[in-house]
A and B are shown apart, each in its own frame.
Chain A
């Protein structure tokens, strides 16, 4: 926590209070850097998952090339980007994995680390995690 960060946060708060409303709200997709940003994020996330012993075994029999594609599509759709998701539903994709709470949180932590590594801001990180977290009950202990 640097002084700069605190100043930054208060500036944001101050700005948001008095900013004119004509500014078109950027989608979360834009905030993530569009397709290019999401591609970078996807690569960083896969690197994090591969390096995490809590997560890596889940990918033992997964086609990483396909995972990379549908993961990016999913992030794009969830963040209101102009994409179509071609993968399975979250419930179908995780059925039979018996994903437990610790593993789910490990995936969240790795994604957070990935977002930090590609310089996604904390508010944008939080917004994406909030949207992704909605599927938690669909995928846990299935």
Chain B
């Protein structure tokens, strides 16, 4: 059955990554640090990379400086009228230079599941990410922080995506992203901006497979703007283009407004209102998003 089948090879890959992270973490434990300023690790987007809620940013997970390691874990839930998205995972950053991430997305089919006679069915995917900071610094200097990244995604439940016309059960997104905090830019308040350009063939983040009858890979633009009320509180908006490559399940771009609270360098809570538009034939999918993040 859809939701109950576990792809053993993916589970193994997951486990191998987890073990690798664990040993790297132990090897670097002496250098674990919190040398970066609060909130500069960002939140975690639904695919596991450090960023906003929907968009990866140039920042790397956690609070380690160029001399330290850092990392984060997250758990996110997005409740839509007819579906629910659950995401969790972790990321690990070495020397504020390279970030490795691992995430699991589970998309509960809710209404659609019942309609097709599979109540409780879900679409799941694993996402393995890597991001490299090329240049710049989020806070200091005039240049933005610039990073490139890749997200390898693999569907664990491909029957429904295949049925609606998806071509592949896995795909790799690549992106380049620039993010900068403009100090005292808005009447004295700090303003964060982010631009991300992504090449992707992922339908609905990959949960509905990759590629379709209307095309395969394409370039997509994503952006975020946030204002920091103080070092702990930020509010902003995000926008993310999505491919629209399945005639059978037309897809809309995504947007959100968010409020983030960085209690300290270990705990952050992000609340958001997310608009995803039409998903697999069900229109107006929008709802509340809550994300908890732990970091070091």
Residues in A lying within 8 Å of B, measured CB to CB: 1, 5-6, 9, 12-13, 16, 100-103, 105-106, 108-109, 112, 121-124, 126-127, 129-130, 133, 136-137
Q: Are B189 and A9 in contact (CB under 8 A)?
A: yes
Chain A neighbourhood of B231, CB < 8 A:
112
Decide if B68 is an interface residue (CB 8 Å cutoff): yes
* With contact pairs A123-B189, A136-B140 given, residues A106 and B35 touching in the complex (Cβ less than 8 Å): yes
Q: Which of A13, A106, A126 contacts B183 (CB 8 A)?
A: A126
Cβ contact within 8 Å between B139 and A102? no
**How many angstroms from the CA of A103 to the CA of B66 in the assembled complex?**
12
Interface of A is mostly: helix
Interchain CB contact under 8 A, A122 and B66? no
| Residue on B nearest A122 in the bound complex, by CB | B230
Give the most central of A121, A130, A137: most B CB within 10 Å: A130
CB-contact partner of A1 in B139, B188, B261, under 8 A = B261
B23 within 8 Å of A (CB atoms): no
Task: For the complex, count residues of B whose C-beta is within 8 A of A.
Answer: 24
In contact, A101 and B230 (Cβ under 8 angstroms): no
Contact of B188 among A106, A108, A122 (CB under 8 A): A122
Contact between B188 and A133, CB atoms less than 8 A apart: no
Residues of B within 8 A of A137 (CB): 140-141
Q: With a CB–CB cut-off of 8 A, which chain A residues contact B230?
A: 1, 122
Q: Please name all residues of chain B whose beta carbon is closer than 8 Å to the beta carbon of A5 when the two chains form the complex.
A: 229
- Excluding A101-B36, A102-B33, 5 further A-B contacts by CB distance (< 8 Å) are A1-B261, A108-B37, A122-B188, A133-B183, A137-B141
- What are the residues of chain A within 8 A of B189 when measuring CB–CB? 9, 122-123, 126
Residues of chain B within 8 A (CB-CB) of A109 are: 37-38
In the complex, chain B residues whose CB is within 8 Å of the CB of A124: 188
- Give, as a whole number of angstroms, the nearest-CB distance from B182 to chain A: 9
Given contacts A1-B229, A9-B229, A122-B230, contact A101 B35 (CB under 8 A): yes
| Contact (Cβ within 8 A) A130 B184 | yes
A8 closest partner in B (C-beta): B229
Chain A residues near B275 (CB-CB < 8 A): none
Q: Tell whether, in the assembled complex, residue B36 and residue A16 are in contact, meaning their CB atoms are under 8 Å apart.
A: no
From B36, B141, B187, give the contact of A12 (CB < 8 A). Answer: B187
Known interface pairs A122-B188, A126-B188; A102-B67 also in contact (CB < 8 Å): yes
Q: How far is the CB of A6 from chain B (nearest CB, A)?
A: 8
B144 to chain A, nearest CB (A): 15
Asked if B184 and A102 make an inter-chain contact with CB atoms under 8 angstroms apart, the answer reads no
